[in-house]
Amino acid sequence: MPDTLLEQHAAALRLFGERVRAVADDQWGAPTPCTEWTVRDLVNHVTGEQLWIPPMVTDGRTVEEVGDAFSGDVLGEDPAGSWERAAAAALAAFAEPGALDRTVRLSYGPALGRAYCAELTADCVVHTWDLSRGIGADDRLPVGLVEFALKEVMPYADGLAAGGMFAAPLDVPAGADAQTRLLALVGRQG
């Protein structure tokens, strides 16, 4: 099981990448649990998030300075290749010496690189489940990644729905496992 933040981030990106490579040609338009997103929209979103990391973490740019550079379609004709390049650049940016201790100026204010990395890792874990559901793949997530994401999401789960990041939390059934609890916190029923 990965134990450092960088290992968790790498594991989440690898898992999402496995699902991206499993998307069949006729599945890109399929619906996902993210009710307004198709499989392509979802992959585009997560790929776009990775594209933001180098300018924000490595270059120290602000959201305003990056602007709309990653708006619209970032996947082009090669969605899996676009994902792979974005994920590799994101991994490299966070792995730079001192990157996790840098202040990153996000849309909601300054945060340490490690907080940004943890947030994006948890987001990637949840969206891996969404993508799995969208393409009919196995939606069981690795326990270590689920526990990491659950710990990351719990403190601000109520605000995620208010900020439009996820659906409203659902009631968690008694005795639910970690994956069911995580999914419920982000408005998904497993």
pLDDT in tens, 24-72: 999 999 999 988 899 999 999 999 999 999 999 999 999 999 999 999 9
pLDDT of residue 164: 59
| Bridging pattern class, strands 103-106 and 109-112 | antiparallel
Task: Tell me if 187 sits within 8 A of 170, measured CB to CB.
Answer: yes
Which pTM was predicted? Answer: 0.93
DSSP secondary structure code for residue 59 in this structure:
S
Give the CB-side neighbour count of residue 14, counting CA atoms within 13 A.
10
pLDDT computed for residue 162 by the predictor? 63
Query: Which residues make Cβ contacts (< 8 Å) with residue 152, sequence separation at least 6?
Result: 118, 119, 121, 122
